[in-house]
Chains A and B, each alone.
Chain A
Amino acid sequence: MQSHAALEYDYSLAKKFTFLTILFGFLAMLVGTIIAAQLAFPELNYLLGEYGTFSRLRPIHTNTAVFGFTVSGIFATWFYLGQRVLKVSIAESKFLMIIGNIQFWLYFIGALLATVSLLFGVSSSKEYAQYEWPFDLVVVVVWVLWGLNMMGLIGIRREKALYISVWYFLACFLGIAMLYLFNNMALPTFLMTEGLGNPLHSVSMYAGTNDALVQWWYGHNAVAFGFTVPIVGMIYYFLPKESGQAIYSYKLSLLSFWGLMFVYLWAGSHHLLWSTVPDWMQTMGSAFSIVLILPSWGSAINMLLTMKGEWNQLTENPLIKFMVLASTFYMLSTIEGPIQAIRSVNAIAHFTDWIPGHVHDGVLGWVVFMIMAAIFHMAPRMFKREIYSRKLMETQFWLQTTAVVLYFTSMWIAGITQGMMWRAVDEYGNLMYSFIDTVSVLHPYYTIRALSGVMYLIGFIMFAYNIYKTMTSGRVLTEEPQFKTPMA
């Protein structure tokens, strides 16, 4: 890794997508906190009339987190690190700059319209794929533009060997493209008739059990190629850059990458255990979920070992803390998932709050932490200013870490409690609890979860404020910082 880049890189696109990451991150977490509070205090369902119920808001929370926050974060980091690892400035090609900007505006406007459409209940109902067909088309165009940009930049690169991060971003592009296309196949009813009914409505190309299989092949692997693959790509770049340490093992990177590519997609059917999907598919899903621990932990261990002999940095640099904690939560989440994919465990865990608990220790602890760390690392280099406040960053770190721990512990307890109560029988073999008993018992856990949401949201606002102050009043830097990010 070279200390002083001879090249001047163009960060205009990275900056734009960074702003969107913060905007959509705030929105997703705000709505998430509201719906968490609604489960504890149902009166909160009536704040916005028809548009404010838990059921209408939940897809806005999930889709804004996935397609708003995370995808913006992927674009922002790509437009930053893509140039640097390929040793080429995007400004060297006018064409790439133009399609990059088209991609930005189309994505921004499309995402806002799609969010409004969900508020109005325009939904194809498949989880994390609720957008109706016109919005799906926008997503496809945005994605293709990004792919073109990536291929274009690779095409004019100076560094011939593709760095590990590029493998992951490339896989992210290809994987999401395949999954999104197949899962969203639908026929618009307006076009299939003489213009009858609502033009936005469509009907899925698959029915029943098949639709479920395609959906969870998608749903599980949208997590794979949105929440795992590009985030691993980020940490492979930002951790060595921030710590000044070389990646611990090339062979481990290789094994983890190709292992993840092959194994991840098989595990989708673990979302359908005990359903009407054929048994052998369910068993495949379970088995491959267990195997998935290997490549997942491979990457995480590779990251932790990269810090070997340099653990003092953990106390000296809060950004290292963010990234090490992110890797640790990644390990927790990728051992928890396979445990839930074991049939007997799944019989209790499925349909309960343990599942959102699992999702959130992964997303809040791993994805959001890593993206925030990336933005903290990029900000001084993009804006040529020192980070505004280290103290604020430290406070944010502990506040959000506590929030994540409260979130998943309360949901573990809630999920296992409810799962056990559903199946509890008395001495005569009759069910012991009516359904509502298993709901009212959850109130304290729902309250704790809502509180953790508030804490995490406050932490994110501190992050946004810190970045804003960095841009506007951080100390101006005369030359680009090497390794450790400068902070006041």
Chain B
Amino acid sequence: MFHWLEKNPFFFAAAISIVISFAGLIEIVPNFSKAGRPLVDMTPRTVLELAGKNVYMKDNCMACHSQMIRPFKSETDRYGDYSLSGEYAYDRPFLWGSKRTGPDLHRIGNYRTTDWHEAHMLNPPKIVPESIMPAYDHQFENEADIETAYAEAVTVKNAFHTPYGDEFKRTRAAWDAHRPKVLADAKIIAADMKDERVKKAISEGKVPEIVALIAYLNSLK
């Protein structure tokens, strides 16, 4: 039987394809819509927070930090309530991470503040002695890409019905109209910060990466 198969590349390839498809079909598909449900009354991230999430992705924070509190007492004592599936329903991509070289961040918004993050990102070992995390000084210099974050919000609204308001439209005019709101959010974060570069950028109507990142980290609760 197998010798016959081994002389027929077409059927051989077909057999492989069938055999390797089972797992995905049985494990992933049945639960798909249920696993996609958000918690009741959950709102999606603001554009500034989304821009911060993109800074998180750009500097690849999940290389060292998880966002998944497992249901053990040692974890809930350290980080807060264990994570629920619905909390991630608007996360595209998921940012659970797979390695904790640094601590979990899923509820960091509950116990760290804007000024803490500012000082920490400038020089981690100064705040946490013996820390091996590098400083992220360039986040104070680089501008956050809030336009891309807006495009992302519009995309997920149109494609996946993520509940963003009616003012989120595909057009450049809609973005121009929304932009002041992002700047206003950024001002609130920057008000708690000391760095001169940040203050200068905000006064010029720009949003440094660090401001967006802190907005995102503060939203992790």
Q: Which residues of A contact B (CB under 8 A)?
A: 38-39, 42, 45-46, 49-50, 53-56, 58-59, 121-127, 151, 154-155, 160-162, 167, 170-171, 174-175, 178, 182, 187, 189-190, 192-198, 201, 203-215, 217, 254, 258, 261-262, 264-266, 268-269, 271, 274-278, 281, 284-285, 288, 347, 350-353, 355-356, 422-425, 430-431, 435-436, 439-440
Contact = CB atoms under 8 A, between A and B. Distances in A.
Contacts of A271: 98
Contacts of B130: 436, 439-440
A196 B99 contact: no
A268 B22 CA distance: 13
Interface string B8-32: 0100110011011111100110011
A124 B21 CA distance: 25
Interface string B112-133: 0000000000000100111111
A162 B7 contact: yes
Interface in B13-53: 13, 16-17, 19-24, 27-28, 31-32, 35-36
Interface string B52-87: 001001111111101010111011011000011101
B216 interface: no
B39 to A, nearest CB: 11
B94 A215 contact: yes
Contacts of B143: none
B91 to A, nearest CB: 5
Contact of A161 (B6, B32, B84, B152): B6
Contacts of A58: 60, 63
Interface in B133-152: 133-136, 138, 142, 145, 147-152
A217 B27 contact: yes
A412 to B, nearest CB: 15
B21 to A, nearest CB: 7
B171 A262 contact: no
B155 A193 contact: yes
17 contacts: A42-B134, A46-B134, A53-B136, A121-B58, A170-B16, A174-B13, A193-B170, A197-B145, A208-B89, A211-B93, A275-B70, A276-B83, A277-B35, A284-B27, A285-B27, A439-B131, A440-B130
Contacts of B125: 42
Contacts of A350: 70, 98
B221 interface: no
Most buried by B among A196, A266, A268, A288: A196
The interface residues of chain A, by DSSP majority, are classed as helix
B19 A439 contact: no
B177 to A, nearest CB: 13
B13 A194 contact: no
Given A196-B150, A212-B88, 6 more contacts: A189-B151, A261-B19, A265-B20, A277-B85, A351-B99, A439-B102
Contacts of A170: 9, 12-13, 16
A272 to B, nearest CB: 8
Contacts of A265: 20, 22-24
A56 B60 contact: yes
B82 to A, nearest CB: 9
B74 A423 contact: yes
B164 interface: no
B17 A174 contact: yes
A192 B54 CA distance: 18
B194 interface: no
A175 B71 CA distance: 34
A204 B93 contact: yes
In the complex, the 3 A-B pairs of residues with the closest C-beta atoms, listed nearest first:
A208-B88, A197-B148, A265-B23
Most buried by B among A55, A171, A424, A436: A55
Contact of A276 (B85, B101, B171): B85
A55 B130 CA distance: 18
A125 B16 contact: no
Nearest to B51: A197
A317 to B, nearest CB: 30
B98 A204 contact: no
Contacts of B19: 258, 261-262
A217 to B, nearest CB: 6
B151 A211 contact: no
A425 B74 contact: yes
A197 B3 CA distance: 56
A261 B16 contact: yes
A213 B92 contact: no
A160 B7 CA distance: 6
B27 A276 contact: no
A266 B23 CA distance: 5
Given A213-B27, A276-B84, A436-B131, A192 B159 contact: yes
Nearest to A424: B74
Most buried by A among B59, B89, B92, B175: B92
A268 B92 contact: no
A281 B91 contact: no
A265 B18 CA distance: 12
A291 B98 CA distance: 24
